[in-house]
Amino acid sequence: MGGRNRLNAILRKIQGKEGRIIPVLRTVSLFEGLAFRDLKKIELIVHERTFMPDEIVFYERQPGAGMYIIKKGLIKLTKTTNGEKVTIAEVGEGEFFGEMSLLEDYPRSAEATAAVKTEVLGIFRPDLFDLIDRNPRLGSKILMKLSQRLSSRLRRMTDMKMKEVESNGKE
Amino acid sequence: MEKNEFQKLWKVFEVIAIGCVLLGALLVLYLIRGLLTPFIIAFVITFFLSPVVNYMEGEGVNRTFAIILLIILTFIFLLILWKLTWPTIQTEISSFQKNAPFYTGKIQDKLEGAMKLLEKKAGFIPQGVMQKAMQQKIGDFTSGMGDVGSLLKIVREFVITFILTQVVVFFFLKDGRKIKKVLIAYVPNKYFETFLTLFHEIHQQISNYIRGQFTDAFIVGVLAIIALYVSGINYAIFIGAVAGLVNIVPYVGLLTGFTFGGLLVLIDTGSIIEALKCVGVLAFVKLLDDIAISPVVVGRSVNVHPLMVIIVISFGGMVHGVWGMVLSVPLYCSMRVSLRILYRGFVEYGKW
């Protein structure tokens, strides 16, 4: 056992330190179960940004370019309906938002604002596609997780719609 | 002043400020253009090699190892190419140097006769003016031909620049993404996504163009050498290689290749028929390129009007010589795509 630990320690030394970004990536469900060397590859395409309180991360309908992972702080997602801003979600540390823009060039569906001073990690769509091209195995793992997330959201929305239809039928 | 009006004015000021910064950056680049050549070459080579490095990395090879391996392989390939073609090129050059004075003299005699006749027929031209001008031009040309002799020196300088460039290429390939991240870190949050999109689009435009043009030039060069050789034209390797190389610059390259090949053969053989044969062979290769090679290799990477291409290339040549001409079209395309993205963000969407 001691030998294996020593070997792991040597490997870690060769691979380099984890730095500030990899520990955050480990907490994100999208990158769950990925090896250190895979996370290192993702680290290379991640952009660190800091937003001040009330600073807009992106506007609703703005052309989307990628997703954000919250390293520290809180992001408020709002939608404008009949001229009024309605908060639809609050996203905290270790969570991510804007992931739909990772898959397609479509306008943002909501506005994201920093509720407090917030540090985020941005992942840009073309960089991710480039990573997938270079590392198809790693790419398929990330895309699988992303698909699972979108699929569960779709299932949730279908359930909600079904409940709505059922309640309308009872009335 | 109302808040809305102030915001509008502030936006206009922001746009002007960004424009000034960009113009300033261009001015600085223009002022230091003499130092840029190795970096431009490295930039071009990086675009060409990065897909191979990415592929190797995708296959599980360590990126640094892949880059070193690729650079070594490039060296070996160039060395083999040098060993195979240099003796022939050297023979062609020395044969040309031996024959040139005789035939330029012959051409000069013929032209002088024609000028005399022209001056005689057109009475308004003072006697000897055209002859003198022509003699001066031919003198310039033949003294310029002495430079062909110093080709060895040029090649040696090229090899030194190439080795230096390889070092820059190594770091561009290895740390390109880190350099990009550092640059992007300085962009304000407000323009972050727009800048990333711009950066990506510009990268795509330039890389597609450079990869396409260089691959096309290589194929055209090889085809031209084969076609000229088969047609029994002297200096097939030299003319073919130059025709391929100048093919990198659209339109202007075509004219340069034809003129160079035609003149070289004309001076060497003194026969207009032979010169026309050479131009004909090059035209055939170019036709083949336009019909079959270019659409596949270059594709629709440059969807620009030919007149615009010529204007842009002339401007590029004026600013930074041959490299300016090579990079002018992709840079123009990048500017066009940048304006489109900024227009989309600023005018269509209203916020960026």
Mapping DSSP onto H, E and C, the string for chain B reads CCHHHHHHHHHHHHHHHHHHHHHHHHHHHHHCHHHHHHHHHHHHHHHHHHHHHHHHHHCCCCHHHHHHHHHHHHHHHHHHHHHHHHHHHHHHHHHHHHHHHHHHHHHHHHHHHHHHHHHHHCCCCCCCHHHHHHHHHHHHHHHHHHHHHCHHHHHHHHHHHHHHHHHHHHHHHHHHHHHHHHHHHCCCHHHHHHHHHHHHHHHHHHHHHHHHHHHHHHHHHHHHHHHHHHCCCCCHHHHHHHHHHHCCCCCHHHHHHHHHHHHHHHHHHCCHHHHHHHHHHHHHHHHHHHHHHHHHHCCCCCCCCHHHHHHHHHHHHHHHHHHHHHHHHHHHHHHHHHHHHHHHHHHHHCCC
Dihedral class, residue B158 (left if φ above 0, else alpha if ψ from -120 to 50, else beta) = alpha
| Whole-number percent of chain B with pLDDT over 70 | 78
pLDDT level of residue A130 (50, 70, 90 thresholds): confident
Confidence of residue B352 (pLDDT cuts 50, 70, 90): very low
C-alpha distance from B55 to closest chain A C-alpha (Å): 6
User: Once rounded to an integer, what is the mean pLDDT over residues B209-214?
Assistant: 82
Contact B58 A134 (CB under 8 A): yes
pLDDT of residue B249: 79
- Show me where the domains of chain B are located: 1-29
Are A91 and A97 a contacting pair, CB within 8 Å?
yes
User: If you search the block for the tokens 């500017």, which residue do you land on?
Assistant: B335
Q: Is residue A1 part of a domain?
A: no
Quick check: is A11 in a domain? no
Type and span of the H or E element at A56 = strand A56-58
Q: ipTM of the predicted structure?
A: 0.76
Is-above-0.80 flag for pTM? no
Give pLDDT tens digits for B54-76.
888 777 778 888 888 888 888 88
- Asked if residue B259 lies in contact with residue B178, where contact means CB atoms within 8 angstroms, the answer is no
* Domain containing residue A87: CATH number: 2.60.120.10
- Using left for φ > 0, alpha for ψ between -120 and 50, and beta otherwise, residue B350 falls in left
Confidence label for A51 from pLDDT (cuts 50, 70 and 90): very high
Give the chain A residue nearest B344 (alpha carbons). A63
Query: What mean pLDDT is reported for chain B?
Result: 77
Range scoring the smallest mean pLDDT among B143-147, B249-253, B337-341: B143-147
> What does the pLDDT read at residue B301?
57
pLDDT for res A119: 93
Rounded distance between C-alpha atoms, residue A113 and residue A52, angstroms: 9
Residue A61 lies in a domain: yes
- Chain B residue with CA closest to A114: the answer is B189
A28 domain-assigned = yes
Residue A167 lies in a domain: no
Q: Is residue A8 part of a domain?
A: no
- Residue in chain B nearest A63 by alpha carbon: B345
For B120-146, the pLDDT digits (tens) are 666 666 666 666 666 666 565 555 555
Q: Residue B218: which residues within 8 A CB-CB, separation 6 or more?
A: B244
Q: What total of structural domains would you count in chain A?
A: 1
Distance (Å, whole) CA B269 – CA B95: 11
Specify the 3-state DSSP secondary structure of A122: strand
- pLDDT at residue B83, as a whole number: 83
Q: What is the pLDDT of residue B130?
A: 60
Of the listed ranges A4-18, B63-77, B268-282, B293-307, the one predicted with least confidence: A4-18
Cβ-Cβ contacts under 8 Å, B185 against chain A: 47-48
Interface contact B189-A124, CB threshold 8 A: no
Q: Does position B318 have pLDDT exceeding 90, yes or no?
A: no
Checking if the pLDDT of B237 tops 80, the result is yes
Containing domain of residue A98, as a range? 20-160
| A33 assigned to some structural domain | yes
pLDDT at A50: 93
Cβ of B272: how many Cβ atoms within 10 Å? 12
Taking CA–CA distances from B341, the nearest residue in chain A reads A63
Q: Which residue has the higher pLDDT, A80 or B161?
A: A80
Higher pLDDT, residue B262 or B162? B262
What are A49's strand-pairing partners? A120
* Interchain CB distance below 8 Å, A134 and B196: no
Per-residue pLDDT, averaged over B38-62, amounts to 80
d(CA B217, CA B238): 14
> Looking at residues A43-49, what average pLDDT do you find?
89
* Shortest alpha-carbon distance between residue B20 and chain A (Å): 25
With bands split at pLDDT 50, 70 and 90, how would you rate the model's confidence at A118? Answer: very high
Beta-carbon separation of B349 and A58 below 8 A: no
Average pLDDT, chain A: 85
pLDDT higher for A160 or B116?
A160
- For the ranges B31-35, B82-86, B332-336, which has the lowest average pLDDT? B31-35
